[in-house]
Chain A
Amino acid sequence: MVNLEVNLKNLNLKNPVMTASGTFGYGEEFEDFIDIGRLGGILVKGTTRHHREGNPYPRMAETPSGMLNAVGLQNKGVENFCKDIYPRIKHYNTNILVNVSGSTIEDYVETAQMINDLEHIPAIELNISCPNVKEGGMAFGTSCTSAASVVKEVRKVYKKHLMVKLSPNVTDITEIAKAVETEGADSVSLINTLLGMAIDAETRKPLLSTITGGLSGPCVKPIALRMVWQVFRAVNIPIVGLGGIMNARDAIEFILAGASAIQIGTANFIDPQVTVKVVEGIQEYMIRHKVHNISDLTGALANQ
């Protein structure tokens, strides 16, 4: 038997496979397709202090081996989450993590505080890396001082596992990772989407209402892998790797680069059953390679 369990400080996962926020709704959208209880955890839709309508249509453009999105954190706000959504999903036999975003530090703090009180939410993922909002979001995650200050303030009120989602749109991601580690982050997840753009040559118009958007999918995987590898050598807290994972082989690559767990994002849109297939594929890989504990693979990149 292989042991898929992962321990991220005070957050225990039955296996390393989680879903990326914004690609898995609130889990309910996938109930027809998979048994959510088979996953290590799910990251629900980005949640903000107040209701957000998100950006105007068009919000999505397909790219070679990927897609750009500019959804802009459409959600009904944290109060609605606590009252309406949480009671519907709290029974899931998996870790439910809420992705928390905001325009100001106060937004982040108040939202985190309200989620801290929810018994069946063992962790939040602090989103300081959303490229699709005018205020806040990525602005917090692209400088060490602002990343440190938002984590510091949230840490004061949030007592459970605090994961911080990092932006790849920076000069040196390891500096940001070290800054949030110093302020008490329990883990880091990376990467959020890469800022990109698409144009229709015929009409000369941008394809997104916001002109720029976040690039995801297998086209970003090599960048994500490189950043996970860099951050693994820079910090001591666990890393959750994501960026273009389409199958178990991709997931294993992230774990070898230094991730303790992984998130599957864009692939959910193409195959809503992909997460469960990745759990099975990791298991199969471990048997084939005679690996007993998945944690033994973290950072186990062999020399050339």
Chain B
Amino acid sequence: MKKLVQDFEVLHREELNKEHFILVIKAFEPLPEIMPGQFVNVLVKNSTQTFLRRPLSIHFVDYEKNVIKLFIKRIGEGTNKLGTLTQGDKLNLVYPLGNQYSIPKNLKTLLIGGGCGVAPLLYLAKHLKESGNEVTIILGVRSSYDAVELDAYKDYSRILITTEDGSLGEKGYPTQHSVLKNEHFDYAFTCGPEPMMKAVAKYAKDKDIPCEVSLENTMACGFGACLCCVTKTKNGNKCVCTEGPVFNINDLTW
């Protein structure tokens, strides 16, 4: 898959709450094939503290409209700057980067997302559903305030919520949701904070089902040149940007 450097045009910035927003960006050329789990590396302009590009999960791809959606949380100066972009602004991307989640067929699949780690799971859910899988997403957030964009998932999956304060769905962490005790799943996928992903990996190992995690190590280039983003695997250090971000837990040293 050829990697590209291209300008996109911002069509819309949808504010979900104070922290989270979605950037809808349109390509000038027809989009290449983009797989769930892949990411883009965006250039943040006019920010003195942001020297490197910012790697962001691909939240959704609409080939008909030729747009990509990015689900972003305002964390530092870079993401705050991205949160000021408005219609007509240009955004430079290096993309599509990284490998992809596996797409099995006709299985009962479980997707667990923590906080803004849920970003790649929407596009994954679409692909899984199209391959005949039954899709359940558990979204774990701090409180109902952070449970944003729930309707978007309903076209492709059942969506369950856990909140740390119990303000929506079940109280606790996503790996404590009752559905995990009451139902059997064939395949698990996760993205979010590392402690949560490790808990998902433990659940999958206990149930003896395959599990794929998406890592977000800090990186400089995003395409395998700098060797900064490595993670330790059973076969030595691997670049998260090219040999990941998606890893089968059996390959990691977790």
Which of A's residues lie within 8 Å of B, judged by CB?
22-25, 29-30, 32-33, 45, 53-54, 56-67, 69, 71, 74, 217, 266, 268-273
Q: Are A30 and B217 in contact (CB under 8 A)?
A: no
In angstroms, Cα B228 to Cα A269, docked, is 11
A271-B5, A272-B5 known; A74-B225 Cβ under 8 A: no
B50 CB contacts on chain A under 8 angstroms? 62
A57 — nearest CB in chain B belongs to which residue? B230
Q: Shortest Cβ distance from A16 into chain B, in angstroms?
A: 21
Can you list the 9 inter-chain pairs with the closest CB atoms, starting with the nearest? A60-B228, A269-B221, A32-B3, A25-B225, A269-B220, A29-B225, A59-B228, A29-B224, A71-B227
Q: Could you pull out 13 A-B pairs where Cβ atoms are within 8 angstroms?
A: A29-B224, A33-B5, A57-B217, A57-B237, A59-B229, A62-B52, A65-B48, A65-B51, A69-B220, A71-B227, A266-B220, A269-B53, A269-B220
Answer whether A66 and B225 are a contact pair too, CB < 8 Å, given A32-B4, A74-B237: no
Q: Which of B84-103 contact A (CB under 8 A)?
A: 94
The 0/1 profile, CB within 8 Å of A marked 1, for residues 220-248 of chain B is: 11111111111110001100000000000
C-alpha gap A13/B237 in the complex (Å): 35
User: 0/1 per residue, B21-62, Cβ < 8 Å to A?
Assistant: 000000000000000000000010000111111000000000
Which of B43, B219, B226, B231 is most buried by chain A, counting CB atoms within 10 A of its CB?
A: B226
Instruction: Tell me if A24 and B220 are in contact (CB < 8 A).
Output: no
Report B-chain residues with C-beta under 8 Å of the C-beta of A56: 232
Number of A-B contacts (CB under 8 A): 89
Q: Which of the four size classes fits the interface of chain B?
A: 20 to 34
Partner of B228, one of A30, A71, A217: A71
The CA-CA distance from A63 to B52 in the complex, in Å, is 9
Q: 1/0 per residue B160-198: CB within 8 Å of A?
A: 000000000000000000000000000000000000000
Q: Does B218 contact A (CB under 8 A)?
A: yes
Q: Please measure, in the bound complex, the distance between the C-alpha atom of A69 and the C-alpha atom of B227, giving whole angstroms.
A: 9
- Closest residue on chain B to residue A207 by CB atoms: B218
Bound-complex Cα distance A29 to B242 (A): 10
Do A60 and B229 form a contact, CB below 8 Å, given A53-B236, A269-B52? yes
Contacts of A61 in B (CB 8 A): 218
Q: Within the assembled complex, what's the spacing in Å between the Cα atoms of A135 and B222? A: 29
The reply to whether A57 and B225 contact each other, CB–CB distance below 8 Å, is no
Cα distance A69–B226 in the bound complex, in angstroms: 9
In chain A, what residue has the closest Cβ to B219? Answer: A60
A71 in contact with B3 given A60-B218, A60-B220, A270-B43 (CB within 8 Å) = no
Q: Are B229 and A53 in contact (CB under 8 A)?
A: no
Which residues of A have CB within 8 Å of B222? 269
Partner of B94, one of A45, A62, A67, A272: A272
Check A30–B225 contact: CB distance below 8 A.
yes
Neighbouring A residues of B226 by C-beta, 8 Å: 22-23, 60, 69, 71, 269
**A33–B94 Cα gap in the complex (Å)?**
10
Contacts of B51 in A (CB 8 A): 62-67, 217, 270
Measured between alpha carbons, how far is A45 from B226 in the docked complex, in Å? 9
| B231 neighbours in A (Cβ, 8 Å) | 57
- Chain B nearest CB, measured from A235 CB (Å): 31
Measured between beta carbons, the chain B residues less than 8 angstroms from A23 are 225-226
B18 at the binding interface (Cβ < 8 Å): no
CA distance A182 to B49 in the complex (A): 43
Chain A proximity of B11: nearest CB distance (Å): 24
Chain A proximity of B54: nearest CB distance (Å): 10
Chain B hits for A71, CB < 8 A: 226-228
**A66→B224 CA distance, assembly (Å):** 19
Whole-angstrom distance between the Cβ of B96 and the nearest chain A Cβ: 11
Inter-subunit contact A74/B230 (CB<8 Å): yes
Q: How far is B120's CA from A137's CA once the two chains are assembled, in angstroms? A: 41
Which residues from chain B contact A25 at a C-beta distance below 8 Å? 224-225
Contact between B2 and A32, CB atoms less than 8 A apart: yes
A174 to B204, CA, bound (A): 60
Extra contacts, 10 of them, besides A60-B229, A62-B52 (Cβ < 8 A), are A29-B224, A32-B3, A54-B227, A57-B230, A60-B220, A64-B48, A71-B227, A74-B227, A74-B237, A217-B51
Q: Can you name the residue of chain A whose Cβ is closest to the Cβ of B50?
A: A62
Give bound CA distance, A151 to B3, whole Å. 40
A70 to chain B, nearest CB (A): 9
Q: Smallest CB-CB separation from B223: which chain A residue?
A: A29
* A266: chain B residues within 8 A (beta carbon): 220
A30 CB contacts on chain B under 8 angstroms: 225
Complex contact A33–B237 (CB within 8 A): no
CA distance A217 to B50 in the complex (A): 12
The reply to whether A272 and B218 form a contact with Cβ atoms under 8 Å apart is: no
Contacts of A58 in B (CB 8 A): 217-218
Q: Does the CB pair B225–A53 fall under 8 Å?
A: no
B2, B5, B43, B50 — which one has the most chain A CB atoms within 10 A of its CB? B5
A61 to B226, CA, bound (A): 12
A85 to chain B minimum Cβ distance, whole angstroms, is: 13
Q: For the complex formed, measure the closest distance between the CB of A220 and the CB atoms of chain B, giving whole angstroms.
A: 12
A217 surroundings in chain B (CB, below 8 A): 51
